[in-house]
Amino acid sequence: MPISDSQTEHVSDIEAALLDAELFMKYQAPDRAIKRLRTALEVNSRSIKLRERLCEICAAHKQVEEAARQCLALASLYIEREDFETAHDRLIEAKQFDERINIAGGLEAIRRARRPDLKPTPAPEAQFERKHFTLAGDLSAISVFDAMQVIENARLNGVLTLNGPKYEGTVKFNEGRIVDAVCDGQVGEMGFQRVVEITNGTFEFQKSSEQYPVRIQALSNTNLILDTLRLLDEKKQ
C-alpha cells in the first residue's frame, strides 16, 4: 500500500524530533531533549520510537516518574501489537521505576489479550456476609490485579479470597508480597495459576497480624503475575 503524504510527514516529524533530541543530549542538555520529545508526542502519541527514547533519557537523568509513565504507555502500545513479551518487560520496568504506580490496568489488558476466554462478564449485585473485611469488591467491576496492587502498596499481611462461579481461591500475603495460593486443589504457583483464571464473582481481603509460610518465591508480585499469564497463554495454545 502506498504511503500517503500525511504518513510521510509524521515519519519526518518523528525522525526530526529524535535527531534534535540526540543533538541536545550531545551538548548535555537532557531537559531540552525531554521537552523536544514531549512536544513531538503531542502530535505523534502512538510513536514507539519517541516514547522509548524519552523513557531512556528520563531514566538516565533520574526522572523516574516520567520514565514509569512512558513504560505504561509503551506497554499498551505493545499489547495492541500483540508483542506481549515486550509489554511484559515495560510493565516490570514501570514498577521498578516507581513502586507506587498502578500497573493493574496493564496486567488486565495482557490477560484479556492472551486469554479472551477469561474476559469478565457483568454479574448480579455482589452479596457479602456481615463480617469485617479490609477490602472487598466485585470482580466484574474491579480486577483481582487492582486488589493485589492495593494490598502490595499497603504492605499488608492477610488472605485474599476469590469466590468464583466454579471454585474458590485464596492468595496469602506477607507485607504485601504474594507467598502462597490455594485453588481447586492446587497450591503454591499452580494454585495461583488457577486463581488468575477467576474473573467473575467476588473478592474479600482479611488482614492478619501473622505471616504465612512461603510456598511462592518470586522477584516481585508483578513478575509472578506476568509469568503466570505467559504460562496460561502457552497452555491454551
Residue 155, all three cell numbers: 504492605
CATH architecture of 5-101: Alpha Horseshoe (1.25)
The string of pLDDT tens digits covering residues 10-43 is 568 899 999 999 999 999 999 999 999 999 999 8
Q: At residue 173, does pLDDT exceed 90?
A: yes
Which of the four pLDDT bands, split at 50, 70 and 90, describes residue 211?
Answer: very high
> Residue 219 has what DSSP assignment?
S
- Whether the predicted model's global pTM rises above the 0.75 cut: no
pLDDT value of position 99: 81
Query: If DSSP states are collapsed to H, E and C, what string results for 60-72?
Result: HCCCHHHHHHHHH
pLDDT at 6: 47
Domain positions in the chain are 5-101, 121-236
The alpha helices in the chain, defined as continuous H runs, are 5-26, 30-43, 48-60, 64-80, 84-97, 104-114, 144-154, 188-196, 221-236
Give the 3-state secondary structure of 194-209: HHHCCCCCEEEEEECC
Percent of the chain residues past pLDDT 90, beyond the cut: 49
